[in-house]
Structure 1
Amino acid sequence: MPKVLFALTSHGQLGDTGRNTGFYVPEVAHPAEVFRSHGWDIAFVSVTGGNSPRDGVKDGDTVTEAFLASHEQQLADTPTADTLDPADYDAIFYAGGHGTMWDFPDATALAQLAARIYEQGGVVAGVCHGPAGLVNVTLTDGTPLVEGKQVSAFTNEEEDAVGLTDVVPFALESALIAKGAKFTKSDNFQQFAVADNRLVTGQNPASAAKVAELVIAELA
């Protein structure tokens, strides 16, 4: 069966705010349900391994509750990218959460793993702040993965709307554009996802399941 690797942040502090952050659990749980319903296997990796900090769990989200109940052991002991073989995966999915803004861009082993999955014919995906991990993914020929491709992510306007423009270490939309991405987006917090030559990205949490659907379509 096809296999998707969810990449998770290991960063748990929201700058100097005193607030906790981590990977945004619904942005994994809802896509995971889409993949599962299509017969895909699911695995996890994180920047430093072990138990990744979590954010975004809300009462009444039964999909997320079921996901956590069935994957607790895997989430408690995630491997690091340097221990994994890219040949084992058909896609890598960078999950969001504000923590990604601090550790995804400099996660060299994770970026190398994503580039190898892509160059073997797989799909690279990300949603919301997850595309922070794409900023420094470089292909063998030295080209940034996002260069010349349609890409979406949490927008500068959305960051401003949640009051964190001066907290995050950089503006994600601007960083992707600087790498040559053709940044594309919808209105704040509306579902929006785009696929371009096996690169699939979504704008915000509402787009997470759609990203999974597009990943599956890219490999169909």
Structure 2
Amino acid sequence: MMNKIVTLILLLTLFLSDVILNGMAFADSTSKKGGTAKRVAMLISGHGNVDETLSYDLEELVQSYLIFHRNQIDIDIVTPNGGPVPVKSNKDDVPYVSTFKKDTNALAMLANTLSAEQASQRHYDALFIVGGDGAVFDLPFDQNTQKWITTFAHGGKPIAAVCHGPAALVDVKMHDGSYFVANKLVNSFTFVEDHAFKKENIEKYPLITQTELEKRGARFVANRPMLPFVAIDENLITAQNPTSVAKAAETLLLAMGIQPVARQAYKDEASMELIAKARNMGVSHIDFAMLHTPERYDMMYLALYGLYAFPLAETEQDKTIELQIMEKIGEYFKHPQYATHMINTFLNAGDREKAKFHFELAKQQFTDFSLPEAISNKL
């Protein structure tokens, strides 16, 4: 009896070992280059070779690339003409940018990107189009790029385009001659955001992305300026701005049948998601976030929202909400220039008492605090 039990145990052990080894081999084959891993083409602008100030957005590329990389996706980086593209270094101190540059082979890819013509000879499961100012200059107009994008549209493969990236889609047509974006829910960097944040370049733009999408019959949907939004219409995924990029990449993974690995949101992403939550559910959510997990947020991003949002508000309700958020951010971001901005904003909003309150508070918080004469004369 004992011999039978020992024999059974040995057989079971051998069986389990075989299952485990086969499972490990399968997992390895589906995650490594050359195996059955799914492959995403990441399309970026090459216009930075003409004008470095009008290039792809490095942070958008980095955030989305790292999400694909961590989910064991094979990646190619593609530009219209191929070859090297400039790589900015002004954000090298940001942890995820450092990871991208030091712990992946992405820099080698950026030193020798595939051309759209080369990429058209390869198989991809999905396309991800990165934004940045450069995207409006070359992606919609390069013939090889347009032909290549069209193959994804005709094949019904998932396409994600973020920020200015949807500009690449405005002239893509289906077999019947209709525009690919026609009657689809579509999002991009908005008309308002372009005119608010791209003033130094907008006169150079050959097109405004939202305007051209709407001309082609797209049903444009969006969040407030600076806040995240991802639109989904069948296999088309579009995202509004840089703080929407990570979620767009994960949404593309879902469209590919892949469950994204859990992660902590990037700080800029988390900061704007917090603002979106505060706009819809009340500013107390900023208090809770600062109380429990302040390290997850970037105070500079919160402050930037406080600086820009009120002038972009259109309705009285929006203006009231933006004043509340601006003031709440000021409780945690203490800086004389931000205090000056709050005082001036309350004066412009017709609330002189609030302006006086924040002036007195600033004098207590900051040594030798004073206002520009143009503002102090209004107090």
The equivalent position to 1:129 in structure 2, one of 151, 155, 164, is 164
Deviates more, 1:5-14 or 1:209-218: 5-14
Alignment length (residue pairs)? 217
Q: Give, as a single letter, the amino acid of the residue that structure 2 aligns with 1:53.
A: P
**Which residue of structure 2 aligns with residue 176 of structure 1?**
213
CA gap of 1:191–1:57, structure 2 versus 1, over 3 A, is farther
Q: 1:75-133 deviations in whole A, cap 9, x for unaligned?
A: 11112111224661011111111011111111221122122123323111110111111
Indicate yes or no: 2:248 matched with 1:211.
yes
Aligned residues of 2:76 and 2:114 also touching (Cα < 8 A): no
Q: Deviations over 1:47-81 (max 9, x none)?
A: 11111234585243221222233211111111211
Q: Distance in 2 between matches of 1:193 and 1:107?
A: 26
SS at match of 2:85: coil
**Matched residue, 1:5:** 41
Look at both structures and tell me which one has the larger radius of gyration over its CA atoms. 2
List gaps (5 residues or longer) in structure 1.
Answer: none
**CA distance, structure 1, for counterparts of residue 150 and residue 41 of structure 2:** 13
1:76-91 matched pairs, under 5 angstroms? 76-85=111-120, 88-91=123-126
Q: How far apart, CA to CA, are the structure 2 residues paired with 1:55 and 1:168? A: 21
Matched ranges for 1:149-160 at <5 A: 149-160=184-195
SS at match of 1:136: coil
Residue number in structure 2 paired with 1:36: 69
Q: Structure 2 regions of 5+ residues with no counterpart?
A: 1-36, 258-379
Q: Secondary structure at 1:23's aligned position in 2? A: coil
What SS is found at the alignment partner of 1:194? strand
Q: Counterpart of 2:184 in structure 1: which amino acid? A: K
**What amino acid is the match of 1:192?**
F
Task: Tell me the SS of whatever aligns to 1:92.
Answer: strand
Separation in structure 2 between the aligned mates of residue 23 and residue 112 of structure 1, nearest angstrom: 20
| Contact 1:25-1:57 within 8 A present in 2 as well | no
| Structure 1 match to 2:225 | 188
Residues 90/188 of structure 1: CA separation in 2 closer, same or farther (3 Å cut): same
Which residue of the other structure, out of 60, 77, 97, is the alignment partner of 1:64? Answer: 97
Distance, in Å, in 2 between the alignment partners of 1:216 and 1:41 is 12
Q: Tell me how far 1:29 sits from its aligned partner.
A: 1.0
Structure with bigger helix share is: 2
Aligned equivalent of 2:365: none
Other structure's SS at 1:5 match:
strand
1:99 matched to 2:131: no
- Paired letter, 1:124: I
Q: Aligned equivalents of 1:209 and 1:13: distance in 2? A: 26
In angstroms, what is the RMSD of aligned CA positions?
2.0
Q: TM-score, normalised by structure 1?
A: 0.91
Deviation of 1:14 after TM superposition, in Å, equals 8.9
The alignment partner of 2:114 has SS state of coil
Whole-angstrom distance in 2 between the partners of 1:14 and 1:42: 25
Letter in 2 for 1:157: V
Q: How many percent identity over aligned positions?
A: 29
What corresponds to 2:144 in structure 1? Answer: 109
In structure 1, distance between residues paired with 2:107 and 2:49: 22
The structure showing larger relative contact order (alpha-carbon pairs under 8 Å, at least 6 residues apart) is 1
State the distance in 1 between where 2:186 and 2:242 align: 15
Relative to structure 1, is the Cα distance of residues 148 and 111 closer, same or farther in structure 2, using a 3 angstrom cutoff? same
Is 2:61 the partner of 1:24?
Answer: no
Q: Match for residue 27 of structure 2?
A: none
Whether contact under 8 Å (1:47, 1:110) holds in the other structure is yes
| Distance across 2 between alignment mates of 1:195 and 1:177 | 16
Q: In 2, distance between residues paired with 1:57 and 1:125?
A: 27
- Structure 1 or 2: more strand by fraction: 1
